[in-house]
Amino acid sequence: MSNKNLRPPKLLLHFFRWFCHPDLREDIEGDLLETFEEKIESHGTRKAKWKFLKDVFQLFRPGIIRPAEGIYRLNQYGMFKNYVKVAMRNLRKNARFSTINIAGLAISMSVGILVTLALTDLYSYDEFHENKERIYRVTTTTNRQGAPSPKELASASIYIGEKIKAEVPGVEKVLFMYYAGFSDVVSENGPVEIKPVYSSGEFFDFFSFNLLEGDASTALVEPNSIVLTQSRAKALFGGDEALDKIVEIDIRSVPTQLKVTGLMEDPPFNSHIQANAYISFSTYSYINDRSRTNPNNFFEGNVYLLLHDKMGVSQIKERIGLINQEDNEGTSRMINNGLQAFTDIVPGKNLNNAFGVNFPTEMMIAMIALALVVLLSASFNYTNMSLARGIQRSKEVGIRKVNGASRLDVFWQFITESIILTLFSLIIGIALFLIIKQGFLSLPTSIVGMFRLEFQWVHIPYLLLLVLVIGLIAGGIPAVFLSRVKALTVLKGASRVSLLNRMAPRLILVVFQFALSMGLIIFSVYVYRQYQYAIHYDMGFDTENVLNIRIDEDKYDLLKNELASMPEISTMAGSAWVTGRTESGSTIVSEDGMDSTYINLNHVDEKYFDLLGMNLSVGRNFTSKSLITDSLLKDVIVNMSFLKEFKIDDPYKVLGKQFWNLRYDRVKREKIRVVGVVDDFIQSSSLLPRSISDFDSYIFFQESENFEILGLKLQSNDMIATMDNIETAYDKVGSRQTFEAKFFDAEREKDFAVLKMLYTIINFLAFLAISISTMGLLGISIYSTESRMKEISIRKVLGASFPNLLTLLSKSYVLMLVIAGAIAIPLAVFLANEIILNAFAYRFKASYVDTFSGFLIVVGIGAVVIYWQVRRASRANPADLLRDE
């Protein structure tokens, strides 16, 4: 009787209650207690506790332990019906909160659905190939002297492919697929664009593309054979039989006759190999014999291996490593080849020079992460609001418990409620998804073409899983809290229950949402500014209103003449390709052979520098072609960085200097003479830091023919009319290629299309995050003003004015916003710099407005919401509320 406050060890007691059969529990527990109390009196607390421990473990035996399965849980259906009924009633009763919750969850669900469908699309890539497990792609990593970090390329040299074929066991077949660029084929219906690829005869042994007509084993063996996809064949030959017909394509400006040896099905969307015509590889080799044996020629195509057995991969990798080691001895340029599993291509590593379509893993992870963040944000909204409203439900919980509900029963009840709510959100989310699907699929990059986002049966279990998981996450915490309600306390009419004291986690959630919204806004602003900066960056030459027209070499002069009369054209210049948009390199060696460097180049005429506004600071321009006398000595103009490469300090010293030019596909080397130096300019439009093909030094060879690009400087008030005129002139000339004229500026914008897409997506997510946070804030503020109605009324009666009330009620929010800002701003700026801006060598300068943009916007919205709520609260008539006191 005396030591009533000394209770037996709680943990042991709980343990006992857990394992003991319910029927036996009461009296045995009573016995334990009685013994315990007596023991305290006789021998003291410590011995009593020890005996208690012994007793509990003695009781842990078969006759007393309850059966493993719940003994009373046979028929839950009745309770389930009740839960559903109550859940529906609650949804209707709290219509406002339910709408807010459902809306928030639906929005985040639509994002979740998008990501789920996108992921299934991505993972379905290349799955239809029978041999996919045994196919590997050979990659190349090279460390050029002086280049920062080695980049891995998806391409490989013919040399290594053939060496592997000859020397590495375990490789059943080797497939070469080499780039052939774009081509236009002339047919009765006009020029048809095809995207051919050179492929060796093993093509159909590797991949499961259906060959509708022709013999798979021989179709790509003979030189000058071509296999077309159905759609291309249709475009070229109409409804006629295509097999055995002749097709003429320009290969390296040489028109070549190819015989159609097969017709294949168009590739499905989920194949990374999307070429629509295949030319036999023997054709390529016939033309390019030199490149076969040069291990440095790894830019131009892909090598695939078909292994006997997937298990042999590591050994094969080792053998290839040995080959590399042998070859690298004594050279300055290290080449290392690796293997990439076929199924790892999409989604996969972001390799340079990738063939076909690609979706880097980093992007996929970013996508998933963002979707998760949005989903969690909305879920926590629900958690927050449920906790806040939990007090109203606690009486119900008390009654349920008195009627026999266990804690677990109550827990499941609230989980059922949240799952039902989530189910509704899913349905609305699907509707929302269908809307944003259109928006997503029309984003301005080709990457979006990789997705179809169609609903399939396989998605149903994923979506249901999503509902369950979200329901659990969102409803878990409130369910746990509510199930802990003690029937006694609540039915006695207890005060502000402990639920309310749990303000801290709720506030944390609100801060999290604010921080998220602010962060996303800031991030998006940064991306946008970088995008604008990038497309307008001064590259060192003038790209405004410069139009580049693609033209056959032999038709160049004709076109030039046709256009000469147009007044809108102020300058015309020819070049082999568009500077900075195509990479073609060469090795320049000093006259004495001691120094050399590999640099980028272009072939241009004397008008080129005028066209692009490039400043020839030293020396002179090319003379017009009529004055070229010495055909053995080519005139060149170099840029300032070229001088650095050859360690020439004084630019004037380089004038008249001669060098050798070595090219890969020609044995001979030619002598060149520097006649002028142009200021440095940015070559790669993407403003990326040095990549393997982004050399600072540049050289312009003087050319008077073999131009494939005609560049025009336009000055026109009516661009459309001008373009029409130009196109007419083009058609007149009778080129074999389709009319393709691109504005230099537009091309630059396309380079950054990825940035633009990123910006659009982040914008969208920011919008989502704000919506969800606003709803969260709305919910919390509605709740808190409602619960303080009495207090507000009293204050009003005592003379508080509206501004007083406003200050009072918004104090806590101000603090939360400031904290959120303190977290979000540095984090967002840091992430934006690390992830996006680091890829660029040149960045925009961020102003204070940019950095605080997110903060200001969210504060603005928050202010509106709070203001609105306080206004409503202060309008209420105190008399109504205080009447019953």
Partner 1 sequence: MKKYQLGEFEEIVLLTVAVLHGDAYGVSIRKDMETRLERTVSVGAMQTALRRMEDKGYLSSEFGEATQERGGKRKRYFTVTSFGKQALKDARDARSKLWEAIPSYVIE
**Residue 819 Cβ vs partner 1, minimum distance, rounded to whole Å:** 47
Q: Is 59 in the site for partner 1 (CB under 8 A)?
A: yes
DSSP state of 841: S
**Residue 31 Cβ vs partner 1, minimum distance, rounded to whole Å:** 4
Q: Is 55 in the site for partner 1 (CB under 8 A)?
A: yes
Using only C-alpha atoms, the chain has a radius of gyration, in whole angstroms, of 37
Q: Is 468 in the site for partner 1 (CB under 8 A)?
A: no
Query: Comparing C-alpha atoms, which of 563, 598, 567, 602 is closest to residue 582?
Result: 602
Distance CA 563, CA 558 (A): 9
Bridge partner residues of 177 (DSSP): 199, 302
**Please, which residue, 38 or 222, has the CB nearer to partner 1?**
38
Distance CA 29, CA 415 (A): 32
Distance CA 435, CA 430 (A): 9
**Please, which residue, 33 or 500, has the CB nearer to partner 1?**
33
**Residue 14 Cβ vs partner 1, minimum distance, rounded to whole Å:** 14
**Please, which residue, 5 or 149, has the CB nearer to partner 1?**
5
Token couple for 225: 């054979």
**Residue 17 Cβ vs partner 1, minimum distance, rounded to whole Å:** 12
Among the listed ranges 52-60, 196-204, 302-310, 422-430, the one in contact with partner 1 (CB under 8 A) is 52-60
Q: Is 487 in the site for partner 1 (CB under 8 A)?
A: no
SS3 798: coil
Bridge partner residues of 575 (DSSP): 604, 709
What are residue 619's phi and psi, to 5 degrees?
80, -155
**Residue 470 Cβ vs partner 1, minimum distance, rounded to whole Å:** 42
**Residue 864 Cβ vs partner 1, minimum distance, rounded to whole Å:** 56
Among the listed ranges 57-65, 392-400, 434-442, 536-544, the one in contact with partner 1 (CB under 8 A) is 57-65
**Please, which residue, 37 or 568, has the CB nearer to partner 1?**
37
SS3 834: helix
Q: Is 34 in the site for partner 1 (CB under 8 A)?
A: yes
Distance CA 713, CA 549 (A): 11
Query: Comparing C-alpha atoms, which of 735, 703, 709 is closest to residue 558?
Result: 735
Q: Is 58 in the site for partner 1 (CB under 8 A)?
A: yes
**Please, which residue, 27 or 69, has the CB nearer to partner 1?**
27
Token couple for 245: 């017909």
**Please, which residue, 63 or 190, has the CB nearer to partner 1?**
63
The residue type found at 669 is: R
The residue type found at 186 is: V
**Please, which residue, 24 or 882, has the CB nearer to partner 1?**
24
- What are the DSSP E strand ranges found in 737-867? 741-743
**Residue 15 Cβ vs partner 1, minimum distance, rounded to whole Å:** 14
Residues in 807-866 at the binding interface with partner 1, rule: CB under 8 A:
none
**Please, which residue, 9 or 585, has the CB nearer to partner 1?**
9
By CB under 8 A, how many residues form the interface with partner 1?
Answer: 20
Q: Is 244 in the site for partner 1 (CB under 8 A)?
A: no
Q: Which of 9, 15, 53, 64 binds partner 1 (CB under 8 A)?
A: 64
**Residue 38 Cβ vs partner 1, minimum distance, rounded to whole Å:** 8
**Please, which residue, 19 or 455, has the CB nearer to partner 1?**
19
The number of beta carbons lying within 10 Å of the beta carbon of residue 443 is: 17
**Residue 8 Cβ vs partner 1, minimum distance, rounded to whole Å:** 9
**Residue 50 Cβ vs partner 1, minimum distance, rounded to whole Å:** 13
**Please, which residue, 33 or 876, has the CB nearer to partner 1?**
33
Query: Comparing C-alpha atoms, which of 665, 620, 618 is closest to residue 642?
Result: 618
Token couple for 387: 């906790």
Residues in 3-32 at the binding interface with partner 1, rule: CB under 8 A:
24, 26-32
For residues 842 and 687, the answer to whether their CB atoms sit within 8 Å is: yes
Q: Which of 11, 46, 60, 294 binds partner 1 (CB under 8 A)?
A: 60
3-state secondary structure 36-82: HHHHHHHHCHHHHHHHHHHHHHHCCCCCCECCCCCCCCCCCHHHHHH
Site for partner 1, rule CB under 8 A: 24, 26-35, 55, 57-64
